[in-house]
Structure 1
């Protein structure tokens, strides 16, 4: 059996501005399906590009057993691209066409290899992905974001690569196609590295590798084992920190006692010298010896004191780099009986007849999940509630302070800094308080003062959440469209905790069932080909 590997040897990466992303990474990725996890902004996407050969490291090298197929987070096809281009099949199909037309160029035969049935394989892959209505010549411009990702994934599965490297492949997929992706990856026979925060996807990995500020750490198993080990390690580190703090306190007490005893001995010696009848030269020598002894003792005490502090500092460093993300809940009074939004005989735009008509009454404190396939109208419903789209018919009344977070984070101005935008949204918060809250959200001081368009996807989502949640007046109705996309695992847990405690009305669109299960939802609004169906949340 062929050994497949991606090996990092002393790999470091620095950005053009001098910022070091990671340094001296040493790790081997073998044929086991591996999840690559880490906090937003730590450099997972850049590491994935180094592994794939898309980006050269600043130092060290990456060894590959064979070709690597890389799929980026955002599918960005060239103008005029067609499905064959997006699936990576265009060169083989073009070579086949030239040979069928009578060509005999050696390069075309080399390009095809043993893939003479590529046209049939591509069409079967499209049909398996639920895209049988497309063909190789379909313009990519006609595809939705979810369809473009599914075409790209179908192309990845067709590749002859030794390794697939997929960066957040489930972000634009609905629940049905997320499940299909997981099933597909279980059938992939060669090396696989998945950069993801999707807990359902990570659960199926044979290994989890975490990238952090201190390097790479490998955990055997999927997400559940990784999370359990992380919790155990953090609890152990906290317990060790508390033990060393107690030892430092006891040691400092013992040092003070020793110092006080030495001072009492010196005082007794001075009194004895004053009242004794020894010669002055003898007294002076005795004083010098005492002072020398006291000096040695002081140096010893200072060294021991420094060692105690160093032990505590080192233990704290093992805890502090992974401090919990914290979100402050908006100060919203709960009004369970008050209507905050009403849709009466509303006809939603851009939807077929079966799903365009909806009636909805939303009360304060009500918490609704909106679920359904991509393209079924979930985002359209939120845009109508937010006042960004007008219904074709019927009436939409929203009588509470309503804040909307869309998938594209339109509330962020890419040219402005996070700090400036957050300050404008929350004028009652002091600069120090705002900086503290952004830091608690995992946005470092150097990141909140650069244009938000330069941030990673996860950092931009955190910035948008801060502007949304800390605004004045606080929102009484939150409309969230796929808020879990791009968030790292600690940030996801923090958002889940905040939304569980949020006292206003909540409407959330998500395909992440792990995420929805943790929000203490009350109701579910499900959309399908038969229309909108209201049901209690079952979890």
Structure 2
């Protein structure tokens, strides 16, 4: 298609609670690669779904003259889904098989379209992405989070759409696969919108869009250019605000001095008139003229004060004043040498190769970072420590109170309000304390009364972290599987800060080296070709 178009005109979205998420947005996309950024909960994923056509705006309209392929933030295949379903190619593969078996149905030919080589292209793409061991019918439930993400991304690339919309596409990917994704996207020849907090990925974009409470703003460059522009805008906004405040103070002083001079003149006039023994009718006229003059001056000052206050308010609106994110570390101090978990010659389910077996001892204040390629068994290891899976052989002993946060954020009941769930698990805290702590995570009084399922990915992760950290009694062992996914930079910094203050045992899986370095870890557990290797951090 020549010059396909994707645009929004006057779009607003109102949540079921009645809160307006954003309003009157206008944006147009062309073949430039664009990144969408913004704080957690501001509405990035909702905006992406509206652009993709999978969600209707409350007001305004979507204009699209090309095809769009949308990959949402959360990949949740059904229990019977296969790899081909995850890649959104099962319909085309099944139709192709029926045609090869003799079908002449129009819907089968429509499903295949021009993609007569889709089977070969899909198999080749799996092989090129290190997934040759997978087949179209392989159950998606067997895949790790990183493998599932890579399969879904393969499907996006095979869609041949005019526009790709990818929501947090680098989540769950190890470093080699993140770099491979960046390279793939740089070669993508058509329209692209990436919603992400991954600065390295965003530095490959040609345009950055920022969604905030003030609206949607476009910057013609990559993320580094956007960051410089934002810093300069913030500096300019602060300077303008201070200038407006200075002007307000100067004018307020000037008006006060005018009032004082007017009052002095009026007082002198009254004294002179009284001494001169003027007729009462003349005194009344002078008094009326003086009061009229004073009233006009007061009106002028009130009008000017309102104008100045409006300028100060408008200047303040241009200053970013996002509330800081704050987490509280659980108050736990187990003995450093006490054994909290022990794996003896354990064989992990669903894991093949050198990392199939492991023996491991965790002590009370050990802080362990688990690293390795996608599919090597990191998440399986955490599930086994959490008691979610049983070992095929060997024995598992966990003696400490533990909390497990998985990649899919299954700790929360998506149908129940967050505050209700927190009250049930934090008996030592009052409702007022919980409200304050949740507000410090960016979860306001309205959000915590809604079903947890309506929260954004980042908000849901912060809520899950809160449910893990604030339980009573506190956990002595935290098992976190890629907690850095979905989080904006302020939330990530807050999480790292509070995990540094946590004094219990900690096991964290992550592909973000900078995040792991910020946690004050004591050891690294590496999944390698020689098996599991533990070493000092």
Quick check: TM above 0.5? yes
Indicate the residue corresponding to 1:412 in structure 2.
412
* 1:383-398 alignment runs, 5 A limit: 383=383, 385-386=385-386, 393=394, 396=397
2:76 and 2:474 map into 1 onto residues whose CA distance is 36
Structure 1, unaligned stretches of length 5 or more?
none
Match in the other structure for 2:361: 360
Structure 2 residue aligned with 1:96: 96
Between the aligned partners of 1:397 and 1:137, the Cα distance in structure 2 is 37
1:519 match: 519
In structure 2, distance between residues paired with 1:226 and 1:442:
24
Distance 1:33 1:513 in 2: 27
String of CA shifts for 1:319-363, please: whole Å, max 9, x gaps: 35x514321432758789655745364626425584332333446
Tell me the equivalent position of 2:116.
116
Question: For 1:274-331, what per-residue CA distance to the aligned partner results, in whole angstroms no more than 9, with x for missing partners?
Answer: 33322211111111111111111112222232233222222222235x5143214327
3-state SS, counterpart of residue 449 of structure 2:
coil
- Report the CA distance shift for 1:387/1:101 in structure 2 as closer, same or farther (over 3 A): closer
Q: Which residue of 2 aligns with 1:219?
A: 219
CA distance in 2, matches of 1:505, 1:144: 25
Q: 1:362 to 1:309 in 2, by over 3 A?
A: farther
Does 526-535 or 413-422 show the bigger shift?
A: 413-422
CA contact (8 A) 2:238 2:319 kept: yes
Aligned match of 1:325 = 324
Q: Is the 8 A contact 1:5 1:191 kept in 2?
A: no
8 Å CA contact 1:199, 1:514 repeated in 2 = no
Residue 182 of structure 1 corresponds to: 182
Shift of 1:185: 1.8
Offset at 1:377? 3.3
**Secondary structure in 2 matching 1:448:** helix
Q: Which runs of 5+ in 2 are unaligned?
A: none
Q: How many residues align?
A: 534
Q: Which residue is 1:51 aligned to?
A: 51
Q: Secondary structure at the match of 1:173?
A: coil
Query: Residue 74 of structure 2: SS of its match in structure 1?
Result: coil
Within 5 Å, give how 1:70-469 maps onto structure 2: 70-77=70-77, 80-104=80-104, 108-109=108-109, 111-319=111-319, 322-330=321-329, 332=331, 339=338, 341=340, 343=342, 345=344, 347=346, 349-350=348-349, 351=351, 354-355=354-355, 356-362=357-363, 364=365, 367-383=367-383, 385-386=385-386, 393=394, 396=397, 402-427=402-427, 429-469=429-469
- Alpha-carbon distance between aligned partners in 2 of 1:9 and 1:341, rounded to the nearest angstrom: 57
Alignment check: 8 A CA contact 2:69 2:161 kept? yes
Query: Normalising to structure 2: TM-score of the pair?
Result: 0.87
CA distance 1:75–1:230, shift in 2 (3 Å): same
Q: 8 Å contact 2:11–2:57 — kept in the other structure?
A: yes
Aligned equivalents of 2:224, 2:514: Cα separation in 1: 12
Deviations 1:259-281 (A, max 9, x none): 33333333333333333322211
Q: Distance in 1 between matches of 2:474 and 2:81?
A: 44
Change (3 A) 1:68 1:424: same
Corresponding residue of 1:3: 3
CA contact (8 A) 2:325 2:490 kept: no
Stretch moving more, 278-287 or 435-444: 435-444
Contact 2:43-2:456 at 8 Å conserved across structures: no
| SS of residue matched to 2:226 | helix
Give, in whole Å, the separation in 2 of the partners of 1:475 and 1:54: 40
Contact 1:340 1:477 in 2 (8 A): no
User: How far apart are 1:216 and its partner, in Å?
Assistant: 1.4
State how far apart, in whole Å, the 1-side matches of 2:410 and 2:116 are. 45
Question: In structure 2, do the counterparts of structure 1 residues 472 and 252 end up closer, same or farther at CA, with 3 Å as the change threshold?
Answer: farther
Contact 1:330 1:474 in 2 (8 A): no
Bigger Cα displacement from structure 2, 506-515 vs 118-127: 506-515
Cα distance per residue 1:30-84 (max 9 Å; x no partner): 2122111222222222221222222333333322342111122233445644433
